[in-house]
Amino acid sequence: MGRPVTDALVQYAQPKPEMRVLDLGSGTGEPAISLATKVGAHGHVTALDLSAELLVIAQQRAQARGLTNFSTRQADAHSLPFPDRSFDLATSRFGVMFFREPELAFRELHRVLRPGARACFLVWGSVEQPYWQSMMGVVHRHVGGPLLAPGGSNPFRYAEPGSLAAVLRSAGFGDIEEETKTLPWTWPGAAEEVWEQAQAVAVPFRPLLERVPASLWPEINSQVMAAVGKYSDGEKIAFGATVVLVSGKK
């Protein structure tokens, strides 16, 4: 489902042969693996994440692709285990929204980049879009209260235009660029499957889901199926995804 989003960030980042790249919040390996295919044998991509378990999957996927210019590193973005001026490019796909102290993390990233290097990020746009509204939006309309736990993880932290750019500037980045795009976000299967997947992986929404009384689930599930079905052609569900691409230079 996320392939077009990954491709958009890789294209936006413009990786070049021989570059040394740091990908933050790599999870199971993207866009780090795609970047490694672009920088060539004399380049290198480091996939960084807090989760050792996810990085094992990333390493296995890279090995399956025959990539020898790819490595993983378990670490916290707020305290990067690299010397100053180590990387020519940095990326993150759907990761920087969850930084505990954004300015600290971006200052750390600024430190490990070489002069003139770019940092390129892709984050979610507004929650008011089909993928979220057809599922979590339906739940929220039934149970009320906060959509997301106050003070908790917020996937839409940088949905407001200029919000991520402002933090990058305060961390020392210049030449800020920003654009909003709507990209394909397509589930290759049934509505029941994408609803099950959304409930399993959407960690920030778990407090919302836990507030649903058992008596409401049949009605919620029925309405979610109807809402998701509006984007289905019987074989796939084409939600589309509105995302924000932001970059800055050291």
Sequential DSSP letters for 75-111: --TTS--S-TT-EEEEEEES-GGG-SSHHHHHHHHHH
**Which residues have CB under 8 Å from 107's CB, separation 6+?**
171, 172
CA distance 155 to 92: 13
Is residue 144 within 8 Å of residue 230, measured between CB atoms? no
User: What is the reported pLDDT for 1?
Assistant: 87
State percent of the chain over pLDDT 90. 95
Sequential DSSP letters for 118-137? EEEEEEE--S-SHHHHTTHH
At 58-88, the pLDDT tens digits run 999 999 999 999 999 999 999 999 999 999 9
| Six-digit token string for 20 | 């040394």
Q: What is the pLDDT of residue 201?
A: 86
Q: pTM, whole model, 2 decimals? A: 0.93
| Exposed/middle/buried for residue 201 (C-beta within 10 Å: 0-12, 13-18, 19+) | exposed
Q: How many CB atoms lie within 10 A of CB 141?
A: 11
Domains of the chain: 3-249 (3.40.50.150)
Helix (H, G, I), strand (E, B) or coil at 237: strand
